[in-house]
Structure 1
Amino acid sequence: MKKSHRAKRMEQHRGRLNLVPKLNLVPLIDCFVLLIFFLLINYSTDVEILQTDKTVKLPLSISETLPEESLVVVVNANDIILAGQRVGSIQEMMATTNGKFEPLENELKYLASKAPPLSEAEKKEGRAITILGDQAIPYEQLKKIMATCVAADYRNIALAVMHKEASNTPAGG
């Protein structure tokens, strides 16, 4: 039986509707490649992110100097934490009449013994350490912690602060 032109067209149309569509992955792969390149180009390794806990409120500063990667001492209202481990409490530290805090010094010396040997420049400056101290801790406590770090040959001391924008108004007025 001979089919009319219209019947042939209808049959072709129904045949096209019954085809299972194929997913074209090429545009999707192109998008992911562009996204990866974008992330790689814009990834910055100049900034070290210091992990702080909610018990420490860092003081504000307009300093532009970026911190170096180093050992971190966290000092909050109650505890002294070195590299994520509690070393002692503020009450224990202030109860000692010595100018240093022995448990912190012992832990610093232990960590220094596990670290690789110092270069000549590092021997002159001492090992690097960053102190994340709450803005409300008294200077006397901070001084004792810094003296302990120096006694353990961690003389390159940095104090962590939160960056704020400098204002254009002169100081005192």
Structure 2
Amino acid sequence: MKLTPLQKRAYHKQRNTQQLDLNLTALVDVFTILIFFLLSNSTEVEVLPASKAVTLPESNAEKSPKPTVVVLVSGTDIVVEGRRIAMVSDVMASPEDLIAPLQAELQLLSTRQVVSQDKQGEARAITIMGDKDIPYQLLRKVMVTCARANFSDVSFALRQKADA
């Protein structure tokens, strides 16, 4: 059967107007499951603020960190929650064990923290991120100052050792 040019044009026009119906319900379901999976798995990892000035020691510890006040002690500075508090050279030159600016900052932070009535007398938690090459005397001064500011629950930030 031979088609006339008018019939050919009508056939092509009819063929081009037919559209496929896309069922987006399955695609939306897949994306919903993907978003739920990503959100549920993103809360498992606790990341402490990192600094290139601090090289953490390595450990085999499996316990994950809890959210606390972070004191970063590098070779040059002492930083609390991102604010530079004191210089290491000034702290090491001082004969006292107490670091006054650090104590003042920790006391200020402790007044901002919400503490329930039954836990008011308990010590507060703090995480010290100390460079692995800082002297013990400096670390001792930081720990004494934290204890005097009622931050006695001290944790040290470490790098997870790679399994060999």
Category of TM-score, reference length = shorter chain = 0.7 to 0.9
Report Cα offsets for 1:30-68 as digits up to 9, x if no partner: 332232233244x15343100111111100000112111
* Residue 143 of structure 1: how far off its partner (Å): 0.7
Normalised by the size of structure 2, how large is the TM-score?
Answer: 0.85
In structure 2, how many angstroms separate the alpha carbons of the residues matched to 1:29 and 1:157? 47
Question: Identity of paired residues, percent?
Answer: 33
1:152 aligns with 2:155: no
Q: 1:162 to 1:155 in 2, by over 3 A?
A: same
SS at match of 2:61: coil
Aligned length in residues: 162
Match of 1:32 in 2: 31
SS at match of 1:137: coil
* Residue 162 of structure 1: how far off its partner (Å): 0.5
In structure 1, how many angstroms separate the alpha carbons of the residues matched to 2:149 and 2:116? 14
In structure 2, how many angstroms separate the alpha carbons of the residues matched to 1:23 and 1:55? 58
* Residue 141 of structure 1: how far off its partner (Å): 0.6
In structure 2, how many angstroms separate the alpha carbons of the residues matched to 1:38 and 1:5? 59
* Residue 165 of structure 1: how far off its partner (Å): 4.6
Match of 1:171 in 2: none
In structure 1, how many angstroms separate the alpha carbons of the residues matched to 2:101 and 2:130? 18
Match of 2:65 in 1: 67
Match of 1:143 in 2: 140
Greater than 2 Å deviation, 4+ residue runs: 4-13, 16-25, 27-31, 44-47, 117-124
CA RMSD of aligned residues (A): 2.6
Q: 1:36 to 1:166 in 2, by over 3 A?
A: closer
Give unpaired runs (5+ residues) of structure 1: 168-173
Normalised by the size of structure 1, how large is the TM-score?
Answer: 0.81
Q: 1:51 to 1:20 in 2, by over 3 A?
A: farther
Report Cα offsets for 1:55-108 as digits up to 9, x if no partner: 111000001121111000011110000011000100111121111110000111
* Residue pairs, 1:42-121, within 5 angstroms: 43-118=41-116, 120-121=118-119
